[in-house]
Every structure is written in structure tokens, then in C-alpha cells.
């Protein structure tokens, strides 16, 4: 039966477990902070919110036809880009 891994007092794994080298180091892990991602821009004056709003309008106009979300999105992008 394999032995369960035990962490050291600082929360890291020991350097060797059952005679094999561990991939972790003896340094404690630090939590990383991530900020909210910026809203991606799809064009010079077009945001994903604008495209989503327009795609929903197209979805409504089509009688709430399911399964065509990508089509509605692409149509909305083209319309907002002026093509």
C-alpha cells in the first residue's frame, strides 16, 4: 500500500517521498493575486458587451431560435464593425 504524502511544518512536501525526488521545492507557496481581466476590445469602438447586446437582439428577432448563438454573435460583430 503506498504511503500518503506528509507535508512539513511550513506546508511544503519533503524533498523525497518513498525514495523518489519530489517536484516541489522547500519554499512555501505564495498566494498570487489576480485582478479582474480587462474587457477585451473587438474593434476600435466595440466591446464584448455591445456585441452581446446586439447578438441578443438578433436572437430575439429570430424568434428565440436556439443553437445559433455563434451565428448571432458573428452577425452582431459584422454589423457593429460596419460590414
pLDDT higher than 70, residue 43: no
Residue 41 — very low, low, confident or very high, per pLDDT cuts 50/70/90? low
Answer yes or no: are the C-beta atoms of 48 and 39 closer than 8 Å. yes
The confidence score (pLDDT) of residue 49 equals 95
Q: What is the mean pLDDT of residues 24-30?
A: 60
pLDDT higher than 60, residue 51: yes
71 Rama sector, left if φ>0, alpha if ψ -120 to 50, beta otherwise: alpha
- How far apart CA 77 and CA 56 sit, in angstroms, is 12
**Average per-residue pLDDT in the chain?**
74
Amino acid at each position: 500500500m503506498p504511503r500518503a504524502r506528509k507535508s512539513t511544518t511550513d506546508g511544503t512536501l519533503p524533498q523525497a517521498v518513498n525514495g523518489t525526488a519530489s517536484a516541489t521545492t522547500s519554499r512555501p507557496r505564495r498566494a498570487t493575486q489576480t485582478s479582474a481581466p480587462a474587457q477585451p476590445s473587438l474593434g476600435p469602438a466595440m466591446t464584448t458587451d455591445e456585441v452581446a447586446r446586439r447578438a441578443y437582439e438578433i436572437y430575439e428577432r429570430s424568434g428565440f431560435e436556439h443553437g445559433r448563438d455563434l451565428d448571432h454573435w458573428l452577425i452582431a460583430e459584422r454589423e457593429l464593425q460596419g460590414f
